[in-house]
Amino acid sequence: MESNQNYLEDLRLIKKVMEESSRFLSLSGISGLFAGLTALAGAAVAAFPILKGHVIMTRDQMTTLTGTQVTQLLLDAGIVLILALGGSVYFAWRKSVGQGLRIWTPVSRKFLINLMIPLITGGIIITILIHRGNPEYVVPSMLVFYGLALASSGKLTFSEVFYLGLIEIATGLLAFVFVDYWIYFWGFGFGLMHIVYGLLVYRKYR
C-alpha cells in the first residue's frame, strides 16, 4: 500500500516537472479580473470626463478632437496598460511564490517573446495611424494585435489564453467595420472578456 502511494507521489512529481518545463503556469486569474476592471474604468474615464458623453463618434468627429483630448485619451490608455501589465506581473509572481513555481524559466522567456513581438508590431502601426490622422483605427488595431499576441503565446500556457486571443481578434475585426462604436468594443474586449477569462482561470487553476 505504501509503495503504491509512493508511486502515485512520484507520478505527480513527474507531471509537475513536465508541466513546468513545457508551460508557463504562473498566470493568475486575478490578474485577468484586475485588467478587465482597469480597462472598464479607463473606458469610463474616456467616455465621460474626456469625451463628455460622446461615446459614439464618426471619423469626422474624431478628427475634430482637440489636442488636449487626444493627449488625455493616450494618457488614459497608457495608464490602463501600465496598471494591467503591472497587475499581471505582480499576481503572477504572487502565485508562483505561493505554489513554489519558478516564474523566470526558458518557457516563460519564450512566452514573453511570443507575446511581445505582435504587441511591439502593433504599437508601431498604431503610432503610424495616429501620425497619419487615422484615430478611428487605433482601438481596432489594439484589439487585433493584442489578440494575435495572446494566440501566439497561448500554446505555452493555459488554453484559455489562446481562446481569449481569438475573441480579441474577432472583436478587433468587428471594430474595424463599426468604427463609430470603438469605445464599446474597447469595453467588451479589454474589459468584459478579461473579467470572464479571469473568473474561468481562477476557478479552474486558482
pLDDT band at 25 (very low <50, low <70, confident <90, very high): low
The cell for 90 is 505582480
Domain that holds residue 113: 27-205
In-domain check, residue 134? yes
In-domain check, residue 198? yes
In-domain check, residue 15? no
Using one digit for the tens of pLDDT, what is the confidence trace for 46-103? Answer: 999 999 888 888 888 887 888 899 899 989 999 998 999 899 989 988 888 887 777 8
Using one digit for the tens of pLDDT, what is the confidence trace for 31-47? Answer: 999 999 999 999 999 99
Using one digit for the tens of pLDDT, what is the confidence trace for 116-170? Answer: 999 999 999 999 998 998 889 999 999 999 999 999 998 888 899 999 999 999 9
Q: Which pLDDT score is estimated for 51?
A: 92
Total number of domains in the chain: 1
The cell for 56 is 459614439
Instruction: Give the pLDDT mean for 169-188.
Output: 96
| pTM of the complete model | 0.85
**Residue found by looking up cell 484586475 in the block:** 34
In-domain check, residue 7? no
Q: Which pLDDT score is estimated for 10?
A: 43
Secondary structure (DSSP) of 117-168: HHHHHHHHHHHHHHHTT-GGGHHHHHHHHHHHHHHHHGGGS-HHHHHHHHHH
In-domain check, residue 2? no
In-domain check, residue 190? yes
In-domain check, residue 64? yes
In-domain check, residue 56? yes
Quote the CA–CA distance of 116 and 120 in Å, as a whole number: 6
**Encoded amino acid at 139, one letter:** V
